[in-house]
Amino acid sequence: MLIRKASDIRSGEITEPELYLRRRDFIRSAALGAGSAAVSAPILTACFADEQAGAETPPRARAVRALGDVRPAPPEYRLDERPTSYEDATTYNNFYELGTDKGDPARNAHKLRTEPWSVVVEGEVGKPGRIALEDLIAAHALEERVYRMRCVEAWSMVIPWVGIPLGDVLRRVEPTSKARFVAFETLLDPEQLPGQRRAILDWPYQEGLRLDEAMHPLSILAVGMYGRTLPGQNGAPLRLVVPWKYGFKGIKSIVRIRLQSRQPDTSWNQSAPREYGFYANVNPEVDHPRWSQARERRIGEWRKRPSLPFNGYADQVAGLYRGMDLRKSF
Amino acid sequence: MNLAGRPARVSVWALGLLPLLALLWDFALDGLGPEPVERITHHTGKWALRMLLLCLAVTPLRRGLGWRTLQPHRRTLGLLAFTYASLHFATYLVFDLDFRFGELAEDVQKRPYITVGFATLALLALLAVTSTRGWMRRLGRRWTKLHRGVYLAAVGAPVHFAWSVKADLAEPLVYASVAGVLLALRLRPLTHRIGRSDANYATLPRSTKTGIGNPSGTKGETTEVW
């Protein structure tokens, strides 16, 4: 296993999508002496790798398809690090509604029906209502964002998301002057999300942001990753991505967005208030009570690397927390 | 076929090392999944726990069902538990801590689930080292007392597991329940009730009590404990 530090990887070496999408297939076929065929596989093949990989590939949502008209990530939102392989990013997931084992969400994702899908926008907004997902997206240009994703469990990935800035969506529904926080809610349906049959958390999953955090240009609502629509296990069809916070803030399969004046309850905070705060900014200095947050393991690597304050986005977001004690507001 | 003899003991070792072989096989074929370190940590940890529980099941099975030929395998199972626990710890030391021994000390002090896990491993190490005939002879009756420490390990290991998970306690609770049943079977009233088929065990010729029991040669009182 070849292990390299990020600093050793030049941007020219970053794997092209058609290769990282099929990494394991590539390794497998290379082992069988058919490597050259895999290398020259066109992008089209890569997009249908699910069907081609055969029985060894875990079942995935059939609904996943290529997204058109995606604006490439502007340089400030394009992390110059090698993206995690598509296979790893879609088979190692925390989405307890689809099972608590990391492999469960990919196995159970087919139960989640993402069409039709709509989102209720309510609370302190000038234009409340139920918006069909297509309409929510159609009003904005889809953008790619290559972000670090740091889980509170001390592992991390680099994911090329496709989405729309959350701030743009919120501005369209016209927050009132009383709106100070945004609350999000996941679909509640134990048929589609069988993990909800067990009371591991107080379902539906809830998350929230301060309004200024939500309006920050780094915060997006993702509808895709790796140039395709989101697979169920990654929070299809609509999820939150806030790259300077721990992954659990990135609520999946969102059906409700509520603007409000008081700080919303959030699921992990309610489950274990000593362990998970409302802010949950990535902070190597503040340990989880049961484990250190100083280092993280990038998926695909064996050794850990140092974690970065605000997950490496301190320049952009540290100002949001000026004057706050981040040990108390963890 | 002699189920207590040397070939049988070698077979138990071989069977017990199959999960390790499976792990190496997966490693060789790039089959450890997206997070190999977590996979290795969980695999070795769970097998340590399973071997420990199998080890603790030997005496109740002998007493309850009269399966005496199992008895010599108790030590093998205990040593297998220690083997997997050591690999579990080594994975953490190498890949999580990168040999930072200062952080190991900090973790052991600060993080209760690691404190419990580390103490359990230390205990298993002590039991493994003193599991030889030589140590049984040297320690005499104290050997029996010392090896009752395995009960503590049977509490420590599931507690360590349960304490390490984020929210879903289902799996650790299964192990904890099995450990609980195996420990409850040792309680005196239960032991007496189910211990009938064992009544003559202490008076059996020494040769049938392979490896364990009455090492100091004292009479009348069984040193048979766990």
Interface contact flag, B111 A290, Cβ < 8 Å = yes
Q: What pLDDT is attached to residue A63?
A: 66
3-state secondary structure of A18: helix
Which residues in chain A are closer than 8 Å to B168, comparing Cβ atoms?
96, 100, 198, 200
Report how far residue A85's alpha carbon sits from residue A26's, in angstroms, rounded to the nearest whole number.
Answer: 12
What are the tens digits of pLDDT across the range A13-59?
A: 444 454 445 444 444 444 444 333 333 333 333 333 344 344 333 44
Task: Let me know: does A158 contact A147? Beta carbons within 8 Å.
Answer: yes
Tell me whether residue B1 is in a domain: no
Interface contact flag, B33 A103, Cβ < 8 Å = yes
Instruction: Report the residue from B34, B163, B164 with minimal CB separation from A299.
Output: B34
Three-state secondary structure string covering B156-220: HHHHHHHHHCCCCCHHHHHHHHHHHHHHHCCCHHHHHHHCHHHCCHHHCCHHHCCCCCCCCCCCC
What are the tens digits of pLDDT across the range B122-141?
A: 999 999 999 999 999 999 99
- Residue that the structure tokens 């997006």 belong to: A220
Task: Let me know: does A120 contact A104? Beta carbons within 8 Å.
Answer: no
Tell me whether residue B224 is in a domain: no
Task: Let me know: does A326 contact A26? Beta carbons within 8 Å.
Answer: no
φ and ψ at residue A53, rounded to 5 degrees: -70, -20
Beta strand extents in A169-311 (DSSP E only): 181-186, 206-210, 220-225, 228-229, 239-241, 254-260, 295-298, 305-306
Interface contact flag, B167 A102, Cβ < 8 Å = no
Report how far residue A222's alpha carbon sits from residue B109's, in angstroms, rounded to the nearest whole number.
Answer: 41
Nearest CA in chain A to B97: A304
Q: A290, A303, A307: best mutation site toward chain B, by most B Cβ within 10 Å? A: A290
Task: Let me know: does A200 contact A96? Beta carbons within 8 Å.
Answer: yes
Q: A159, A293, A302: best mutation site toward chain B, by most B Cβ within 10 Å? A: A302
Which residues in chain A are closer than 8 Å to B164, comparing Cβ atoms?
290
Q: What pLDDT is attached to residue B202?
A: 42
Range of the domain at B100: 6-191
Task: Let me know: does B120 contact B88? Beta carbons within 8 Å.
Answer: no
Task: Let me know: does A193 contact A241? Beta carbons within 8 Å.
Answer: no
The residues of chain A scoring below 50 in pLDDT are 1-16, 18-20, 22-61
Q: What pLDDT is attached to residue A21?
A: 52
Per DSSP, chain B holds a count of helices (H) and strands (E) of 11, 0
Exposed / middle / buried, residue B56 (Cβ in 10 Å: 0-12, 13-18, 19+): buried
Residue B222: pLDDT over 60: no
Tell me whether residue B199 is in a domain: no
Q: Dihedral through CA B69, CA B72, CA B77, CA B80, nearest 10?
A: -140
φ and ψ at residue A157, rounded to 5 degrees: -140, 170
- Residue that the structure tokens 């340089």 belong to: A75
Pick the CATH number of A67-321 from 3.40.50.300, 3.50.50.60, 3.90.420.10, 3.40.50.2000: 3.90.420.10
Among candidates B21, B62, B29, B31, which has minimal Cα distance to B195? B62
Return the domain boundaries, chain A: 1-57, 67-321
pTM to 2 decimal places: 0.81
DSSP string across A275-322: T--SS-B--TTS-BTTB--SEEEETT-SS-EE--GGGGTHHHHGGGGT
Count of the separate structural domains present in chain B: 1
B interface toward A at CB cutoff 8 Å? 30, 33-38, 95-96, 98, 103, 107, 111-113, 163-164, 166-168, 170
Tell me whether residue B204 is in a domain: no
What are the tens digits of pLDDT across the range A122-131?
A: 999 999 999 9
Q: How many residues does chain B have?
A: 226
Q: What does pLDDT average to over chain B?
A: 86
Encode burial over A145-159: b for 16+ CB neighbours within 10 A, e otherwise: bbbbbbbbbbbbbbb
CA B96-B101-B104 angle, 5° bins? 60
- Residue that the structure tokens 């309680």 belong to: B187
Nearest CA in chain A to B95: A303
Please state whether beta strands A254-260 and A181-186 pair in parallel, antiparallel, or not at all (unpaired).
antiparallel
Tell me whether residue B218 is in a domain: no
What are the tens digits of pLDDT across the range A246-267?
A: 999 999 999 999 999 999 999 9
